[in-house]
Chain A
Amino acid sequence: MSFVEYGDMIKDGDTAIVFLGHESMFPVKVQHGTVTQTKYGVIRHSTDLIGKKYGSKVTCSKGGWVFILHPTPELWTMNLPHRTQILYSTDISIITMMLELKPGSIVCESGTGSGSLSHALIRTVAPTGHLYTVEFHQQRAEKAQEEFREHGVEHLVTVTNQDVCKNGFGVSNIADAVFLDIPSPWEAIGHAKSALKAEGGRICSFSPCIEQVQRTCLAMEEYGFTEINTLEILLRVYNVRTISLQIPDLGNAAEDNSSAGFDSSDPSNQGSPCSNLQQGTVQFKSGVPLREMVGHTGYLTFATKS
């Protein structure tokens, strides 16, 4: 397996995703002799995982089963250990497209944080591109480096432990794109500009607060960036459900003791294709929104270096 290439069989040393059910999964480091506890029982790596095909069903000791999935940056984003607030795939998707990233791109990122976006960027620029990521927190920088190594992508990324606002990204005039997710992005715009290639480079800044966005846009303008554009993107998820709604009893036109208004045994009422033969309900399929949804992550500001 690899975070930048698919493999068919689970191997010793892989990072695999154990899927237990709807929105219930966790990553596991596959190792000979190890066992993993799940609510369905024990998974023995040597017998249950290694040598099996990704996507297989594995029965645990208590009888329940799980699926073992090949890791992808998207699955990693949903399951990684948080050291900071992370970016989710919705924002990551639009960032990737708006920064025009593709195999061979050189990208600069700060802050690395928990590496959610980093993994996605590495996946996109592989095999010939590179990610230069800067993190001012020493432990986080080290943890990120460790994870990149474990995931077999260290040749595609360089982690630098410094303050991007003071010392920049460590490269100049080569980046196709720069991404900023830091408290004061306007202080890094100058460094971003020097890291970017001479013409046509793209920049993106992610900030939760509109005041930060205002300052950043001003800085971008001062440094001569063009096509400055701010947007936000939100995900709406729907649950597919079969819903049954009751028919209300509206009484009947004639005052007698016959049954309620909608008589389902009456042949003339067979018109509705969804009506249930069972007394007084109508069934239909619906995409029901979740009760709560994420209402805000941050504002994304994009621009081009001219």
Chain B
Amino acid sequence: GDCAVLKRGDVFKAVPVLRRRKIIFEKQWFYLDNAIGHIYGTTFEVTNGGNLQPKQEVEETTTETKEAGTDNRNIVDDGKSQKLTHDDIKALKDKGIKGQEIVQQLIENSTTFRDKTEFAQDKYIKKKKKKYEAVITIVKPSTRILSTMYYAREPGKINHLRYDTLAQMLTLGNIRAGNKMIVVETCSGLVLGAVMERMGGYGSIIQMYPGGGPVRAATSCFGFPKPFFDNLHEFPLSKVQSLLSGTFSTETLPSDPEDNALVEEESNGLTEEKQTSLQDTEEEPATEAAMEITQTEEQETMDVNAEDVEFKQNKEKENKENVREKQIKQFERRKKLMETAALLREKNADGLIVASKFHPTPLLLSLLEFVAPSRPFVVYCQYKEPLLECYTKLRERGGVINLKLSETWLRNYQVLPDRSHPKLTMSGGGGYLLSGITVVLDKGKSDCSNSEALKMEEPSPKRCKVQDLHC
């Protein structure tokens, strides 16, 4: 029932742990059954039968002074240096020969191996091992693992939010236990999950969502205990304007099916009146449905015996219960919505995190209303330009200071004796962040502190001091 992450080298994949469920990962098929019970971090091999087997710690054969060359001036790549053919290798695999053995065979059957330099031999062995020694590690999901996985596998689902940018958001936003956070994201729930992880179940989160409901596919991967969700609220973005203008009502929920049976009045709490009206009207649709069924059944059956009658009665009961259940759920939904609206109306949130596909400006301008003064906010955008506009509009609005538009640059390194250098490929961009701190909104006056108004124009060269630029 857990959500586990399979790891092979730098490739990750999140899968639900279910018995007898076939998993495909890195060109291999297997079942997770044998993995259940092992601790996270265990490395497995895939057996021929598609089962997982914990990998034994194998002592690396001590390197006697191997024969090696000094450089590649005489090595010609004619594609013929490996004597084993494709079929030979396949035969070995089919025989069940372990990956280690296959690699050994490849080395022995390579005419150029002993001419390669030690470094080149090392690289060759690593490459073959990667291909033939199929080991999979099962790791516990965390923000680190899931954000890296999503960025590599499905960046489109997270608006190309690179994991270091997410890390910046969590820190700049001072996400921690006890906060009351407002989160808006269209990143499959990854950002929400990251926020929840850093809050540890303490405090509360109000997630604002577009459309009918929030997408939390990634959130479920984290494996949070149930109590974490007790203080997770949601609120539709489509109701924000009405909430701000004071005209909020729960009459029409975003994906509400027509419900003329329940007539809601705008109120802040739930009264007895509402509850009785619920019960009164609930009967009608139920009996209607029951009547429909009996009519059709009467048409169908010619004989009416005792069993049929009982069956019909049970079915009527079932339908009544289904409708009642639906209405209770709806009732609960509206109740929750009212509670969340009340939380928002307090206008004392400890921070705002935005990472969505939408233009950030309207989101910020409206949602900052719900944030207390002297609290951080962070907005992510895949592109820089919308944040330029957002910055400008925020300056006009006032009530924010320390605005900063930034991006992070991330580089991975290969560190090996005498072979250390940055890696070959690098992410071209991980998105942009606009961050700031709220202050008491002084309606009428601009909040630019005394010298800040001057900062809007291009500064003269003298003003840029090196120490000011230190991050």
Q: Is A223 part of the contact surface with B, judged by Cβ < 8 Å?
A: no
A-B contact count (CB 8 A): 224
Q: Check if A93 sits within 8 Å of B171, measured CB to CB.
A: yes
Q: Check if B471 sits within 8 Å of A69, measured CB to CB.
A: no
Q: Check if A6 sits within 8 Å of B409, measured CB to CB.
A: no
Rounded to whole Å, the gap between the CB of B67 and the closest CB of chain A is 25
A23 CB contacts on chain B under 8 angstroms: 468
Q: Check if B469 sits within 8 Å of A8, measured CB to CB.
A: no
Interface residues of A, dominant DSSP: mixed
Checking A210, A242, A294, A306 against B41 with a beta-carbon cut-off of 8 angstroms, the contacting residue is: A306
Q: Check if A238 sits within 8 Å of B405, measured CB to CB.
A: yes
Chain B, residues 384-410, CB within 8 Å of chain A (1/0): the string is 110111011000000001111111111
Interface positions, chain A 59-103, Cβ under 8 Å from B, are 64-70, 72-74, 88-90, 92-94, 96-98, 100, 102-103
B199 CB contacts on chain A under 8 angstroms: 103
A186 CB contacts on chain B under 8 angstroms: none
B391 CB contacts on chain A under 8 angstroms: 240
Contact (A55, B440) CB under 8 Å given A66-B449, A242-B456: yes
Rounded to whole Å, the gap between the CB of A109 and the closest CB of chain B is 16
B405 CB contacts on chain A under 8 angstroms: 237-240, 287
Q: Check if A97 sits within 8 Å of B166, measured CB to CB.
A: yes
Rounded to whole Å, the gap between the CB of B36 and the closest CB of chain A is 17
Checking A56, A72, A232, A286 against B411 with a beta-carbon cut-off of 8 angstroms, the contacting residue is: A232
Interface positions, chain B 445-467, Cβ under 8 Å from A, are 447, 449-452, 455-459, 464, 466
Q: Is B99 part of the contact surface with A, judged by Cβ < 8 Å?
A: no
Bound Cα distance from A4 to B457, whole angstroms: 38
Stretch at the interface among A143-151, A211-219, A259-267: A211-219
B452 CB contacts on chain A under 8 angstroms: 21-22
Contact (A93, B440) CB under 8 Å given A103-B202, A231-B413, A243-B458: no
Bound Cα distance from A100 to B148, whole angstroms: 13
Q: Is A199 part of the contact surface with B, judged by Cβ < 8 Å?
A: yes
Bound Cα distance from A98 to B146, whole angstroms: 11
Rounded to whole Å, the gap between the CB of A40 and the closest CB of chain B is 7
For A, the interface residue count at a CB cutoff of 8 angstroms equals 80
A102 CB contacts on chain B under 8 angstroms: 197-198, 200
Bound Cα distance from A68 to B201, whole angstroms: 30
B178 to chain A: closest residue by CB:
A5
A230 CB contacts on chain B under 8 angstroms: 412-415
List 9 additional contacts besides A22-B402, A217-B415; criterion CB under 8 Å: A6-B179, A6-B350, A22-B451, A56-B373, A67-B439, A97-B143, A120-B171, A199-B41, A234-B409
Chosen A-B contacts, 16 in total, with CB atoms closer than 8 Å, are A4-B178, A6-B179, A6-B350, A6-B372, A19-B437, A20-B450, A55-B374, A55-B440, A69-B437, A69-B439, A88-B471, A94-B167, A242-B458, A285-B385, A291-B464, A293-B469
Q: Which residues of A contact B (CB under 8 A)?
A: 4-6, 8, 19-23, 40, 53-57, 64-70, 72-74, 88-90, 92-94, 96-98, 100, 102-104, 120, 123-124, 126-128, 199-200, 210, 213-214, 217-218, 228-243, 285-288, 290-294, 299, 301, 304, 306
